[in-house]
Structure 1
Amino acid sequence: MDVESVPFFIEEGRDRNKCLNETKVTYQQGNASCITYLGCEAEVSLCTINGMGHTWPGRQTYSPKTCERNPDGILCKAWVDNIGALNQDINANQEIWAFFMKHTLNESIA
């Protein structure tokens, strides 16, 4: 099964929305940054977080119950070693909500 990368989908979005090859930094905090492509028919943005593991941006704790019960235990440490670092430089929940509040559907479409 082939899985396309994020840059592939961003390029697709840029082409579909006729974006210029210019960007503007629209968010920067710590290791998190977002760029937005200019001149698009619809907004095309990409946010990246350098050094973050495979976790949800903005999450305060690791999810397995093992870490809640024993954060210094061997199982929790193994989980953290494999999943990677948490990051609060951007909150994915807030960003997703802001996106949908900004880009509401027309009632005739919804």
Structure 2
Amino acid sequence: MSKPEITPAQTEKLEAAAFRALVAHLRANPQVQNIDLMNLAGFCRNCLSRWYREAAEAQGIALSDPAAREIIYGMPYKDWQAQHQKPASPQAQATFAAKQGSGEGH
């Protein structure tokens, strides 16, 4: 099966829809901790919010880190932390530290 012809405008709409689905999935699964995302995928919700802020800035839109995080988390970051963040296990911390030292993380 050949790849369909997709215009740049269609590509942007598809990418935006995929992004919204990713954000919705992360919001629906708050039990998935950021450190686990970082250890397994090399990015977390905070990375996603930083990329969002950077994209806004590239478009001339001033967006603070807390505002970008609220867009991704669906609530103020401090509220999300209080409701959902659990202490990282020693193993998760060690994996994170090792990846940071090797240049794989953030």
Q: Scaled by the length of structure 1, what TM-score is found?
A: 0.25
Structure index of larger Rg: 1
Bigger share in strand: 1
Q: Which has the higher contact order (CA 8 A, sep 6+)?
A: 2
